[in-house]
Amino acid sequence: MAKIGVVADDLTGATTTGVLLARSKAKTAVFFDDAAAAKYEGIGDLDAVLISSNSRPLPKEDAYQRVSKATAVLKNAGVQYFSKRIDTTLRGGIGTEIDAMLDALGEDAVAVMVPAMPQSRRIVVGGYSVIDNVALIKTPVAQDVRTPVKENYVPKLIQSQSKQDVALIELEDVLAGEDAIAAAMTKQLDAGAKILVVDAISIDDVETIARAAITLDRPILAVDPGPFTAKLAFCHGIIEVEQPNLPDVKPVSGKTVLIAAGSATPVTKHQMAVLCEDSQVRRIEVDPLALIHGADSANAEIARVVKQAVAMLAEAPQPKAILMETALHGDLLDLDAEDKRHGYAQGMSAESINGGLGAIVAAILDEVGRDKIAGLYATGGDTMVNVCYHLGVGCLEMIDYVIPQTDVSFLTGKYGGLPIVGKGGLTGDDHIAEKIIERLCLEAARVR
């Protein structure tokens, strides 16, 4: 029976938390939606079940319903401990989604929110979110087109979204230790708070908060980017100490990694430029406008790219990697302007591009089979979702990470056991793409 159940507002968030549990010896699967989880026959054999509600940009009523449905699936699976996975940059309707889970879990349940992810340089001090030494609202996320964040004080942000009373447990109490945290929590709960936001600047702080929360002897809904959920599970004795999950094998050789690059960030652009300095890496420029135009235009572009990639895979030796990208060459498209130009709903142009990349990867695998492919690498969360959708994948088996927020998993279904890495557009150093390719070649040799 599954012990840990997590609802995340997008797929990359689910994998970020899932991989922390997988690295701690929990058998972990991430599901693309509640329907996939509900029909999965082996759900009772898992230690941890994570469901993406895909709700981050939705209106609050729709987000509430999505999260409620996902929570109901987790309850039906017999989950004992529940978590609401949130974005490290606090995007989306977090307060509404907390309300949905608290309503489903009963009157005694309380939410303990620890927004820090110290291993990724995300901390909370005095209730203020700080990312890599920069105040949250001073980072690019504040200008996010779909889900901008304009409030840096976390309790105020959550209170503006939730019907529950929100209180802050300050760093002074956290640094004073478990008993001080528990006393501060009890005081706020007795005063009527149902959501407790807690400061943290180190992973040790997060573990101390977890130990304190357990002493409350009330159903706890963990609300966090992953570390607090993992520490709670560890303190409950469900999982072991987190450590790398590396196979004791030699990497495969003579196979190719397929890269679908949907991210348009300068970070990704530079990483791929560094990667392409390797003569064993091939690059295919995909025309994003052709994918946006749809119908015959999109189909022709997909067919062109697939034909080019299949020809590259016939080379001897095969390329180490084939990069297929839509936004790393030429001028960067204004996708909002493209939506307006074509009369599309907001976000449809971006979806068409990511869907096209997904269709390309699926067509290449259908054409050449999996024997030539070491693994898949997708940059950008929406690209990852579309690649998996076109491959008919309903859930991912989590394994490890290359670096935090660059997660390694195995596909299920038709291409079950094929490794895939998903990476956010702002994550990693100049050489992360090379490290990902090396890791995929290692995972491709794992005995399963």
pTM over 0.75: yes
The CATH homologous superfamily of the domain defined by 256-443? Four-carbon acid sugar kinase, nucleotide binding domain (3.40.980.20)
Q: Which CATH architecture has domain 4-235?
A: 3-Layer(aba) Sandwich (3.40)
Phi-psi region at 94: left, alpha or beta (left = phi > 0; alpha = psi -120 to 50): alpha
Query: How much is the CA Rg of the chain, to the nearest whole Å?
Result: 22
| Sequence ranges of the domains in the chain | 4-235, 256-443
pLDDT digits (tens, 9 = 90+) for 23-71: 999 999 999 999 999 999 899 899 999 999 999 989 999 999 999 999 9
- The pLDDT value given to residue 145: 64
Distances (CA, A) of 316 to 169, 322, 442: 61, 14, 21
- The pLDDT value given to residue 262: 87
How far apart are the C-alpha atoms of 111 and 35, rounded to whole Å?
26
pLDDT digits (tens, 9 = 90+) for 295-341: 999 999 999 999 999 999 999 999 999 999 998 887 788 888 988 99
Residue 372 has pLDDT above 80, yes or no: yes
What's the mean pLDDT when you consider all of the chain? Answer: 94
Q: Compute how many other C-beta atoms are within 10 angstroms of the C-beta atom of residue 185.
A: 24
Tokens of 15: 């994998």
Q: Compute how many other C-beta atoms are within 10 angstroms of the C-beta atom of residue 235.
A: 17
